[in-house]
Structure 1
């Protein structure tokens, strides 16, 4: 059985590691937070005390961290995984980062004869826990096929988006759409309420009419309509508002780089920036409905 090294044991990384362990993989782990390592070590993961130590033990390495700078440090730092990789390493980055960083890492990996995939995910914490994530994968077809059994242990839909960087491109575009649609759903519920419509009735109608979308039918931002969504649990995050803001900013930068006009994305980024700056960064992104309603 191959050994998988996993770096980044936060809201997403923790359940992803658990699903790899359930699938029977040997998993070596590293995180800057010792408690995150300790929790998973009790379930059978093997702690490593550095990136280099993890790389020396791993046939496949997966990263799930927050920023491009973090990924570059993990891969290209003096004690980074690229400098200490075993031969024939497959590196899979599941972080959501900018396309420029992703392409740079692909180039550096190729120089070192390291196979790399950019494989950001969609599905949030609930999807990570249930093993139902969607993976958007950029890289060669051969490397994609090599990663299939690993990604399938953590997800239900594994899509080869194309060459290097295409996974990140897909994630950026998807989350641009998600941010816009959540604001649209929040606006519609706010207007419906002021027009005297019962929220439950409006949900019943719109979720079966032309206004239906994932933000409405599967992640409704109004409390009490759906049970297993953040809005019905004080907006405890499945996907934090600050992470949505990060992804919308990535979308703005990507659009600027290719001269694409994304006016709704720009407005969505402005609204999420305002919401986060009001102290709501660690609430779920569906909490944007409070801003739309004029509530703090």
Structure 2
């Protein structure tokens, strides 16, 4: 996601130096106008703002501390971490940045690769009000909305709560489509009703888990990610850990975390998180609609459009 985010900054007239461990990602960034450099430290040297997008908290802390990113930046640099990581790791990263003489925001995003490309991400931001105001012009280029959620770690707290809602609703929407199949209801009919009724939600109207009703959804690209199932499993794992630590009765969130961990560790390892509908369909007993589910799959091929 960092690649298209950087590309949008370039389009808006900002000078961006970038680095990625994956050569293909770095080449794509270069093609988009980013100044590709040979290391993360080289990328931050002389920068006013440093934006990071990494898989997990250990990567953020390792890059900041052991790999010398904080030491390479000039004093007072604003570090904006857009990774989705544990709240405790986000607070530790914030403290490390401040102790090194810089300023910090945690600013995880919602919207997936599609949102990153379109510049329509939502940023959930934790840190100081002054730092949030300073980062605002950059966030507005990369996204359509930025919400200041509170102090250090608050952005990450908002993100894991949001993604717990998303994971639970995607499972609910997927189960509803499989139930509809078993009852002989077409995908389009269910979508036309639920998308304009009380069942309307992002998992249905934007990332619909079955081909046809929403042409841009990953379901029309054989579930090629968008937002990969392993990333959803990671985010739900963070939410589940936080719920357990806080003694929160989050029954559906915990069950969703278990479901996505199993899906991401198996057939969904390289799929969009909406592909969980296929796992639900496969678990459906034949007498409870397995035959109808197979018919639904066959019928989908005619409806599917290339995104």
Map of 1:65 onto structure 2: 54
Map of 1:55 onto structure 2: 44
Map of 1:223 onto structure 2: 211
Contact 2:223 2:271 in 1 (8 A): yes
Map of 1:203 onto structure 2: 191
Map of 1:285 onto structure 2: 273
Contact 1:91 1:114 in 2 (8 A): yes
Map of 1:254 onto structure 2: 242
Secondary structure of 2:282's match? coil
CA drift of 1:51 comes to 2.5
Secondary structure of 2:27's match? helix
Q: How far apart, CA to CA, are the structure 2 residues paired with 1:34 and 1:231?
A: 28
Would you say 1:154 and 2:142 are equivalent positions? yes
Q: How far apart, CA to CA, are the structure 1 residues paired with 2:164 and 2:86?
A: 13
Map of 1:126 onto structure 2: 114
1:4-15 map, 5 Å: 12-15=1-4
Any stretches of 5+ residues in structure 1 without a counterpart?
1-11
Runs (4+) of structure 1 exceeding 6 A deviation are none
Q: 1:294 to 1:42 in 2, by over 3 A?
A: closer
Tell me which of 98, 107, 118 is aligned to 2:95: 107
Contact 1:48 1:54 in 2 (8 A): yes
> Deviations along 1:56-105, whole A, 9 cap, x unmatched?
2311100011111111111111x321122202200000000001110011
Q: TM-score, structure 1 length as denominator?
A: 0.93
> Deviations along 1:108-153, whole A, 9 cap, x unmatched?
1121221100000001111100001000000000000000011111
Q: How far apart, CA to CA, are the structure 1 residues paired with 2:110 and 2:175?
A: 24
Contact 1:225 1:232 in 2 (8 A): no
> Deviations along 1:138-192, whole A, 9 cap, x unmatched?
0000000000011111000011111110000000000001000000001111111
Any stretches of 5+ residues in structure 2 without a counterpart?
285-307
Map of 1:93 onto structure 2: 81
Would you say 1:40 and 2:21 are equivalent positions? no
Tell me which of 11, 14, 18 is aligned to 1:22: 11
Map of 2:126 onto structure 1: 138
Q: TM-score, structure 2 length as denominator?
A: 0.90
Task: Report the aligned-residue RMSD.
Answer: 1.3
